[in-house]
A and B are shown apart, each in its own frame.
Chain A
Amino acid sequence: TQLLEQSPQFLSIQEGENLTVYCNSSSVFSSLQWYRQEPGEGPVLLVTVVTGGEVKKLKRLTFQFGDARKDSSLHITAAQPGDTGLYLCAGAGGWATSGTYKYIFGTGTRLKVLA
């Protein structure tokens, strides 16, 4: 069974601070995605990383896929209150004969940025 563990589970920081969220597994994934979820809403995709060692930037957010494609990190620079939310990583797991991946989600990191 493929599992994705995220750390930390909860994070409360002051505006302007930097933070890193980790997503780790013992399994290899074809790709890894990061989502952000607001209360009462569904997750929204932020980024997909595909190649081992790949780094992608989305404004103040930097995403990295581990060289072995087993882990990923999300770094936020100068966090703002608008960054508050639940961050989820999701790995594209076993390829099904139906022609799609079964996506495995991490347990989530709840971030609160205080003004």
Chain B
Amino acid sequence: DAGITQSPRHKVTETGTPVTLRCHQTENHRYMYWYRQDPGHGLRLIHYSYGVKDTDKGEVSDGYSVSRSKTEDFLLTLESATSSQTSVYFCASLDRRPSTDTQYFGPGTRLTVL
């Protein structure tokens, strides 16, 4: 398994405060993703990165920003947290192989916005 860690694993914050979630991978994968998981919605893509300093939006990017200054680290920032951003956040990195691209997921961060 690819070594992907997320920090923090749990966080409780208040509405209006900024929050940064960190994802770290040790596999030198080029592509990395941030998803949120909510009941009834499965996993939804927030942002993804295709290289250092190269990022693009997913389907639910409003209210989120990302940064990737090193291959191994991908940060997700909630500029001003809202209660609708209470969710479980997963990071993934992509191992690219012909016909068998594999996303390796981190253990998730449970974020509660009060």
Contacts and interface: CB of A to CB of B under 8 A. Distances in A.
A92 B33 CA distance: 14
Contacts of A88: 42-43
A41 B106 CA distance: 7
Chain B contact residues, majority secondary structure:
strand
Contacts of A102: 45, 48, 58-59
Contact of B108 (A4, A42, A103, A108): A42
> Of B43, B56, B59, B96, which is in contact with the most chain A CB atoms at under 10 Å from its CB?
B43
B101 A96 contact: no
A107 B90 contact: no
A107 B41 contact: yes
Q: How large is the interface on A (under 10, 10 to 19, 20 to 34, 35 or more residues)?
A: 20 to 34
Nearest to B41: A107
Contacts of A101: 101
B103 A40 contact: no
Nearest to A50: B99
B99 A48 contact: yes
Interface of A: 1, 4, 6, 31, 33, 40-45, 48, 50, 88, 90, 92, 96, 98-108
Given A88-B42, A106-B42, 5 more contacts: A31-B101, A33-B103, A43-B105, A90-B103, A98-B56
